[in-house]
Amino acid sequence: MEKLPEPGTVGAAIATFRVITSKKYSTIRQCIGNSVMLEPFDLPGMLLVTKGSDLAITNSFNGEASSSFLLVPGLDGNSDSVSLESVSQKGCYVYSGVNYQSSVSLKLRCKGESSDAEFNQAASFVMKKGISEYHPISFVAKGARRNFLLAPLLSFRDESYTVYFNINKHKKFE
């Protein structure tokens, strides 16, 4: 949901979402017209949800209506773009603003709140393969307040990570 991240930053994991659907599709284009949920790559188990006109990421993986979006052809008319309409608030779309800046957060905007051309452009996104991908032997560790993606260190590109070592003080080294 961001411009292509610069190398050497944590942007790849932050800008990548997993599209969750009720059934399996072979391409993302087959999802158009269906309800989807968006899970941030770096926050497994969390979902993008609507909270009034704001969008938030929270751990409400219970399928509540505010986490569902209808994937529709891009409002800007481009063949490679899509738009995300809120299922619970018809006519309201995920909106990034026209003059995109990395610090601008996504909002939920309804048609008619700005000019049609401006709105259509700001509510349209290009979907493509994510910069970050789950490694085949990655898994999710469940935490008290959030889940963590664990994967081999050499599978990361441009993401920050922390290495933990468990040193057992009870054993003597001889």
Helix (H, G, I), strand (E, B), or coil: what is residue 42?
Answer: coil
What predicted TM-score, i.e. pTM, was given to this entire model?
A: 0.72
The answer to whether residues 21 and 36 touch, using CB atoms and an 8 Å cutoff, is: yes
The tens digit of pLDDT for each residue in 80-137 reads 899 999 988 888 898 887 665 555 567 888 887 666 888 898 889 887 776 667 778 8
pLDDT, position 49: 85
Residue 166 DSSP symbol: -
Domain that holds residue 128: 1-174
The answer to whether residues 93 and 86 touch, using CB atoms and an 8 Å cutoff, is: yes
CATH number of 39's domain: 2.80.10.50
- Comparing C-alpha atoms, which of 61, 65, 15, 64 is closest to residue 40? 15
Query: How many domains, in total, are found in the chain?
Result: 1
